[in-house]
A and B are shown apart, each in its own frame.
Chain A
């Protein structure tokens, strides 16, 4: 149970960016896992070069990834969305971006597995007879923190509310005098920054190679859909459900079944509630 909760917090962190970009903006950014890996490699680079804590690096680098996300969205907007060609061609654009980032990482860092060092990796704390690994506890806490921060940002700030508004009625937002493209640029930047920070959590938990992103495409989108498109608390709840199912299956019935059962639950939830757990 505890292991599942810890894993769930991490899954939520990984999926928050998708929730914003795919759930709220309705942009099928297939390249999102590649930004996850970019964040992971940034953490690795700072860890090996300056012995900087990977999660601290992740936090420090969020403004940089926010800007990167804003630039990517502007390119996407000018090339596809503005011309109304965002559906299929936009998807191809993000596929291309995914491969370019993956190959660039291969060329820069090589294809060896990369790990980071931190004082808490490999240590655990005993809570009532259950050993909790710091390697999982710290990313889980950061994941929950990210969820709360994003929830407050979207619900309490002007730009956050504007993002929620643009996801519901773009035209109405324009009539209110706000520029939907500007708002979407901010939202996209936030989504990419969240992915980069989640990447730092990923490299803390497990070693990465440039092709690790492929393992997370399914999980990221499944968590977002299960939680309800664009729902931030839903993403956390879905992450915890998937994490707990995976963990309980691994412990009691055999790990081979864990992914199949997780995705089975996704199918059942979608059959009963097509909008997802917290979807409207």
Chain B
């Protein structure tokens, strides 16, 4: 009787198992069809920027669910691996090292915001990764990394993008206003926006009568507004973060500051909680934005379905109930990445980047084409004016007419009510 170990078939089996295990260890076998494609990122789920980070995460999750319903990418399901960066740039290197080394993600995207993208760019450059950036202002100006792409529609000149529409509108008025006050917080975004504003003031020939900054933790803004009022400016450009936006607006109302045009770069006014809380106090303010529920934007393919899904899930997720600022762009960012993976039929970082660089993408925020430094080839920072808001109901903000687009002309949905005092009524 022949022993089991001596049978030829047993040896064949043992050899096959050994070779299989060895090859699997070297990664010779391609990923199986059922293996998920992992997309990794850090996101501000706590800390100062979490009010935007959490809605952005929800938008990315909606994209993942949508794409998986359609069969995933390259026939494989998509899985998100993400960690809370606590709005702390110091956590970014550790998070992405873990994502790349331990979690072995296939693709990365950035977290939300300029400060959180800044430490990630060198990591992506070192590893030659394609990096999709989520709302960072002028992050790639110094690095000029060719495989970085920014979904914020700031355009090729991000530094002046926030203010250009504001000053162009002011310059078009008859008689043209002459004097400008500019004010902003001592923080990265407002400082960038103020640099752009100073450049534009020169370009349009205005005269600066007040140019000061304040600490972001200021409690009372009335002394600042009083000082501005004392200079009697016709234009007031404010570059502020959410708490100071509210502080400045309330102080302006209380002190009676009424220039001919006011606003510009105030972050926070586009958040639903602020729109409903401030109500008619917003009337007349001219401010930058990226999305408004005006006809041109609502007509973009897929946006209504996305907003319906987002708004249905927003309450449970504890995020902005309307989601008109960042979420459509977060979803569009994933659409760009997904389309590039499908088109290049693989996960080769260089091929994906090359494809993104040369292609115009169809997304829920319209056609997206990247240009210099990975910014949008043509900028699309809107200038909107809050008009005819009454009371604090959320429903009035769902449709057109309250946040009227004034700039650029191709998206214009109404006219500027000028001066500010007339729009306040």
Contact = CB atoms under 8 A, between A and B. Distances in A.
B268 interface: yes
A131 B223 CA distance: 11
A112 B273 contact: yes
Chain B CB within 10 A, most for which of A117, A206, A248: A206
Interface residues of A, number: 43
Contacts of A251: 223-224, 226-227
B348 interface: no
B187 to A, nearest CB: 11
B75 interface: no
Nearest to B320: A112
Contacts, number: 122
Given A110-B54, A112-B320, A113-B242, A255 B224 contact: yes
**Chain A interface SS verdict (over half):** helix
Given A115-B246, A115-B274, A136 B220 contact: yes
Given A113-B273, A115-B277, A254-B212, A106 B46 contact: yes
Contact of A256 (B213, B220, B222, B277): B213
A7 B220 contact: yes
A255 B215 contact: yes
A133 interface: yes
A111 B274 contact: no
Interface stretch (A119-127, A141-149, A162-170): A119-127
B254 A124 contact: yes
Nearest to A1: B223
Contact of B227 (A4, A135, A252): A252
B254 A115 contact: no
Interface in B30-59: 45-48, 50-51, 53-54
B220 A205 contact: yes
B280 to A, nearest CB: 9
B51 A112 contact: yes
Interface in A195-209: 205-207, 209
B222 A106 contact: no
B214 A113 contact: no
A112 B271 contact: yes
A111 to B, nearest CB: 4
B319 interface: yes
Nearest to A7: B220
Contacts of B47: 211
Interface in A1-46: 3-4, 6-7, 10
Given A113-B271, A113-B273, A250-B214, A3 B223 contact: yes
B273 A114 contact: yes
B137 to A, nearest CB: 21
B220 A113 contact: no
Interface in B111-137: none
Contact of A113 (B254, B274, B319, B392): B274
Nearest to B223: A250
Nearest to B392: A117
A185 B220 CA distance: 34
A131 B229 CA distance: 12
A114 B243 CA distance: 10
B217 interface: yes
B418 to A, nearest CB: 23
A74 B318 CA distance: 34
A91 interface: no
Interface string B218-245: 1110111011000000000000001100
B101 to A, nearest CB: 28
Given A206-B246, A206-B247, A211-B48, A113 B256 contact: no
Given A111-B46, A255-B212, 15 more contacts: A10-B219, A109-B318, A113-B268, A113-B271, A115-B278, A122-B253, A133-B250, A133-B251, A206-B219, A206-B243, A206-B246, A207-B243, A247-B220, A256-B214, A259-B215
Interface of A: 3-4, 6-7, 10, 103, 106-107, 109-115, 117, 121-124, 131, 133, 135-136, 205-207, 209, 211-212, 215, 243, 246-248, 250-252, 254-256, 258-259
The list of the 5 closest CB pairs from A to B, nearest first, reads A255-B214, A110-B318, A111-B50, A250-B223, A133-B254
22 contacts: A7-B219, A10-B219, A103-B46, A106-B46, A110-B318, A111-B46, A111-B54, A115-B278, A117-B277, A117-B392, A123-B254, A136-B222, A207-B243, A209-B51, A209-B243, A212-B243, A246-B219, A246-B223, A255-B214, A255-B215, A256-B214, A258-B214
